[in-house]
Chains A and B, each alone.
Chain A
Amino acid sequence: MLELLSFGDRGWGDQLLMGAAMTVAVSVSAFLLGLVFGAAGAAAKLGGNLLLAGLAEVYTTVIRGVPELLVIYLLFFGGSGMVMAVARVFGYDGYVEVNAFTIGVVAVGLISGAYSTEVIRGAVQAVPHGQIEAAKACGMGRWLILRRVLVPQTLRFALPGLGNVWQLTLKDTSLISVTALAEIMRMAHVAAGSTREPFLFYATAAVLYLILTSVSTAVFERAERHAMRGVRRA
């Protein structure tokens, strides 16, 4: 039975590994996109502009209160339509097809971003206000304060929370399999269907996810230790 997992023509090993690579690619892209959304969302919530803060609040409430699967379906079935509507505004009337990878990254990125927003907002607020005042007193400009005082410390405070968001994002990519993107779940589904060995392939998929989550836990632990190297322990 295990030869079904071997590499080459007879087994599904290489397909599953390719699936794992695709899962990593989608997760990393979606997580980075989520960081962009998260930084923008946190800036909007903390910026003092009521309209922007309200929009960011709606974004995080809706995305965090609605099932991930629903968001993915919405973009999968409606994504091309949305892009075409925008294209029509700019005078292009043809058919636009958005590929599954892009839809997956945008959908999971939107979800990831909603959680990142809250993590980054909390981290920014955790930077002691006195430090900002001190920086101002030294005559630093807004950008310099951001670059030298706010961002380095925010990153450190946000790291544990972002680790959680990464794990969520990684697991959420399994839902993209409904759009037939060839990631781990999709490959396992296809293999299970054609060999009639569903248990073997879904169990293998589970093991692949466990490896990915364990490795990322270790990486984030190291990153946290690295980020905390300047902090005195009590």
Chain B
Amino acid sequence: MNWQLMWDSLPTLLSGLPLTVQLVALAEVLGLGVAMGTALMRLSTSRIADAVARAYVFVFRGTPLLVQIFLIYYGLGQFPVIRESVLWVFLREPYWCAVLALMLNTGAYTSEIIRGAILSVPHGQMEAARACGMSRFLMFRRIVAPIAVRQALPAYGNEVILMVKASSLASTITLLEITGLARRLIAQTYAVFEIFILAGAIYLALNFLITRLIRFAEWRLTPYLRARA
């Protein structure tokens, strides 16, 4: 084990951290919107909306993320229609292709989490809200959403961690986030173990931080479960 080399490569690898965090954060924020829409489509009474959402979730959960990334990055650019459209400004950048793929991927998984959480809200509570004369939106805001969020949080935390790991695939389309930088450093130094252990440690630390943050959010959202001091 070459400690000096590990110490020297640390700043380089850490310089990839902002990109990793950016990819994950953007994908999660945008993906949450996609997931919300998909979950509502799955729960709506419209057969067509349900079928569309079901097909989207089936395709994105049933194929590896690598296929999705390659399909978007290499595949879409093949069509002149897309190359000549406004979309090309985004789709020619590997950065936005990675964000798009991660967003659609996490959207599919998260929509199922949200759907399950909404279905877990006790029916009696919704009936009570309706009996109080709440409108659909007010009921969603005051009754359904708070209960569903608590229910979804642990599973959502797992999904965020999966996304942190999935963001490493962005290195396959030339992005230099932590994994991409690690691969380049190995090509330069041939120190396979040192570099990969270091990169792995950075990911572990990041994931540890995220689990703590989710735990904290859970603790904040469930004051009634805490023993009174």
Interface residues of A (CB under 8 A from B): 61-62, 65-70, 73-74, 77-78, 81, 171-172, 174-175, 177-178, 185, 188-189, 192, 196-199, 202-203, 205-206, 209-210, 213-214
Cβ distance B156 to chain A, nearest Cβ, rounded Å: 17
A209 and B168 contact, Cβ closer than 8 Å, known pairs A66-B200, A202-B71? no
A69 touches B63 (CB 8 A): no
B161 touches A65 (CB 8 A): yes
Q: Within the complex, which residue of B64, B179, B186 is in contact with A209, where a contact is CB–CB below 8 Å?
A: B64
| CB pairs A–B below 8 angstroms (28 shown) | A65-B165, A65-B203, A65-B208, A66-B203, A67-B169, A67-B179, A67-B203, A70-B200, A73-B179, A74-B192, A74-B200, A171-B64, A185-B67, A188-B67, A198-B78, A199-B74, A202-B67, A202-B70, A202-B71, A202-B74, A203-B71, A205-B63, A206-B71, A209-B67, A210-B59, A210-B62, A213-B61, A214-B62
Q: What residues of B have a CB within 8 angstroms of the CB of A61 in the complex?
A: 204
Contacts A67-B165, A70-B196, A70-B199 given; does A199 touch B66 at CB 8 Å: no
Contact residues of B between 170 and 200, Cβ < 8 Å to A: 171-172, 179, 182-183, 186, 192-193, 196, 199-200
Q: How far is the CB of A192 from chain B (nearest CB, A)?
A: 6
| Separation of A69 and B164 alpha carbons in the complex (Å) | 12
Rounded to whole angstroms, the CA-CA distance of A214 and B59 in the bound complex is: 10
- Closest Cβ of chain A to B184, distance in Å, is 12
- Please, which residue of chain B has its CB at the minimum distance from the CB of A214? B62
Determine chain A's interface SS by DSSP, over half rule. helix
Is B76's CB within 8 Å of the partner chain A?
yes
Contact of A70 with B182 at beta-carbon distance under 8 Å, contacts A197-B78, A199-B79, A214-B62 already known: yes
> A171: nearest residue on chain B (CB-CB)?
B64
Chain A residues contacting B58 (CB-CB under 8 Å) are: 210
A210 to B58 alpha-carbon distance, docked (Å): 8
A95-B182 Cα distance, complex, nearest whole Å: 26
A197 to B74, CA, bound (A): 9
B179 x A66 contact (CB < 8 A): no
Contact in complex: A178, B71 (CB < 8 Å) = no
Give the chain A neighbours of B204 by CB distance below 8 A. Answer: 61-62, 65-66
Our pick among A68, A74, A203 for the contact of B196 (Cβ within 8 Å) is A74
Docked-complex contact B183 and A213, CB < 8 angstroms: no
Residues of B within 8 A of A188 (CB): 67, 70
**B64→A185 contact, CB < 8 A:** yes
Q: Known: A67-B203, A70-B179. Is A213-B67 also a contact (CB below 8 A)?
A: no
Give every chain A residue within 8 A of B75 (Cβ-Cβ): 198-199, 202-203
**Interface check B151, CB cutoff 8 A:** no
Any chain A CB within 8 A of the CB of B207? yes
Q: When A62-B200, A70-B196, A81-B192 are in contact, do A174 and B66 touch as well, CB less than 8 Å? A: yes
Residues of B within 8 A of A66 (CB): 165, 200, 203-204
- Let me know if B208 and A69 touch, CB within 8 A: no
Give the residues in chain A near B78, CB-CB below 8 Å.
196-199
- Min CB distance A193 to B, Å, is 9
Q: In residues 64-116 of chain B, which contact A (Cβ within 8 Å)? A: 64-68, 70-71, 74-79
- Using A73-B183, A202-B75 as known contacts, list a sample of 14 further A-B pairs with CB atoms less than 8 Å apart, ordered by residue number in A: A62-B204, A65-B203, A66-B204, A67-B167, A67-B169, A175-B169, A188-B67, A188-B70, A198-B74, A205-B63, A206-B68, A206-B71, A213-B61, A213-B63
B74 in contact with A209 (CB, 8 Å): no
Q: Is the CB of B70 within 8 A of A198?
A: yes
Give bound CA distance, A202 to B79, whole Å: 14
Q: How far is the CB of B136 from the nearest CB of chain A, in Å? A: 33
Task: Say yes or no: A206-B63 contact (C-beta < 8 A), given A70-B168, A189-B70, A198-B70.
Answer: yes
- Tell me the smallest distance from the CB of B211 to a CB of chain A, in Å: 9
Taken together as a complex, chains A and B put the C-alpha atoms of A203 and B166 apart, in Å, by 20
Q: How far is the CA of A192 from the CA of B78 in the complex (A)?
A: 11
Complex contacts, A68 vs chain B, CB 8 Å: 165, 168
Find chain A residues with CB under 8 A from B208 CB. 65
Question: Contacts of B61 on A, CB cut-off 8 Å?
Answer: 213
**Chain A residue with the shortest CB-CB distance to B197:** A74
Complex alpha-carbon distance, A86 and B62, angstroms: 39
A127: min CB distance to chain B, Å = 24
CB neighbours (8 Å) of A77 from chain B are: 186, 192, 196
